[in-house]
Amino acid sequence: MTPKRKQRLLVVLFIVFGVSAAVGLTLFALNQNINLFYSPTQIAAGEAPVNTRIRAGGMVVDGSVKRDSESLFVRFDITDYDKTVTVEYTGILPDLFREGQGIVAQGSLNEQGVLQAVEVLAKHDENYMPPEVAEALEKAGKMPMPEGQEFNK
């Protein structure tokens, strides 16, 4: 390798590693802002702002879904198997919504700590592993058996 090429190789390495370091530090600093949603544990710890538009994600607790017979109002709990947050929503739920399903709800927390949702998205994770929930569960040491690991039925 000629000295010239070596020098250019150094420049290339400098670009790649310099940019990686800069971007890495930026992402590290912005870490919390890149998360799409807060986990129930974070909300219980008071990390999520009140009366501001936020997202919360978790598994819908079995038996917690209460529908209003007169309207589209629905109330349910979401959990990371450590802490639980109640969600209230008026509207059409995604097809995949059901108890035990991972969901992400967008809305604002009121003073009682109830999430007034304006949008509910299903987080498709049944076939794989729910990453955040699973991670939170693993940390809490309460890894449940996610229902329906099988694709076929």
What does the binding site for another protein look like in residue numbers (CB under 8 A)? 1-2, 5, 8-9, 11-12, 15-16, 19-20, 23-24, 27, 31, 34-39, 57, 93-96, 104, 119-129, 131-132, 148-153
Q: Is 128 annotated as a binding residue?
A: yes
**Which of 124, 123, 122, 117 lies closest to 72, judged by CA?**
117
The CB-of-5 to another protein minimum distance in angstroms stands at 5
CB 89 within 8 A of CB 74: yes
The CB-of-104 to another protein minimum distance in angstroms stands at 6
What type of residue is 61? Answer: V
The CB-of-80 to another protein minimum distance in angstroms stands at 11
CB 107 within 8 A of CB 116: yes
| Of residues 59 and 93, the one with the C-beta less far from another protein | 93
What type of residue is 11? Answer: V
The CB-of-37 to another protein minimum distance in angstroms stands at 5
| Of residues 55 and 75, the one with the C-beta less far from another protein | 55
| Of residues 69 and 95, the one with the C-beta less far from another protein | 95
Q: What is residue 38's DSSP assignment? A: B
Q: Is 38 annotated as a binding residue?
A: no
| Of residues 29 and 34, the one with the C-beta less far from another protein | 34
Q: Say how many C-beta atoms besides its own lie within 10 A of residue 134's C-beta.
A: 18
> Beta strand pairing status for 102-109 and 84-90?
unpaired
- Per DSSP, the residues of 84-107 read EEEEEEESPPPTT--TT-EEEEEE
Binding site feature residues: 124, 128
Binding-site positions for heme read 124, 128
